[in-house]
């Protein structure tokens, strides 16, 4: 159930969108702290590895769900993992901007303190990417197989 502006469709999978942004904010806070304070590099590494591991699990769940849905629907990689054309505009933008923000944040943190544990930041964007894939696999709109 979706409408042109995505208002109704935006309710589907709202928690995945919120979780994606929560991860971006958490990563941003600990990364900023780790850039400014050497003592926060350990907690940053833990947060980065937890988000990476959770993103890996989300990506795996997305692939399993997509394989199940592919029996009845024609799924494409762009629609599945980047929700291009398969999600309401509002939802797609929220998920895509979260991924973009996390990529920029990750590389900014890693570059700000090269050759330190802040390099683990580059693993974190798997969190919003995995959740975007999970949203697409669970809630994406795809054409039916004939």
Report, as an integer, the average pLDDT of 52-61.
Answer: 98
| Every domain of the chain and the residues it spans | 9-139
The pLDDT of residue 46 is 97
83-137 per-position pLDDT tens digit: 999 999 999 999 999 999 999 999 999 999 999 999 999 999 999 999 999 999 9
Q: Are 87 and 9 in contact (CB under 8 A)?
A: yes
11-46 per-position pLDDT tens digit: 779 999 999 999 999 999 999 999 999 999 999 999
Distance separating alpha carbons of residues 23 and 127, to the nearest angstrom: 7
The percentage of the chain sitting over the pLDDT mark of 70, rounded to a whole number, equals 93
**pTM as predicted:** 0.89
């Amino acid at each position: 159930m979706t409408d042109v502006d995505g208002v109704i469709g935006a309710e589907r999978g709202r928690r995945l969108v919120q979780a994606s942004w929560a991860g971006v904010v958490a990563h941003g806070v600990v990364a900023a702290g780790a850039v400014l304070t050497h003592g926060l590099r350990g907690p940053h590494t833990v947060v980065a590895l937890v988000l990476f591991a959770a993103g890996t699990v989300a990506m795996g769940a997305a692939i399993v769900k997509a394989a199940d849905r592919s029996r009845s629907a024609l799924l494409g990689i762009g629609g599945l993992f980047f929700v291009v054309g398969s999600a309401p505009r509002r939802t797609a933008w929220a998920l895509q901007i979260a991924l973009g923000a996390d990529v920029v944040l990750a590389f900014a943190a890693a570059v700000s303190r090269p050759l330190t544990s802040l390099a683990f930041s580059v693993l974190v964007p798997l969190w919003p990417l995995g959740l975007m894939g999970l949203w697409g696999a669970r809630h994406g709109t795809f054409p039916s197989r004939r």
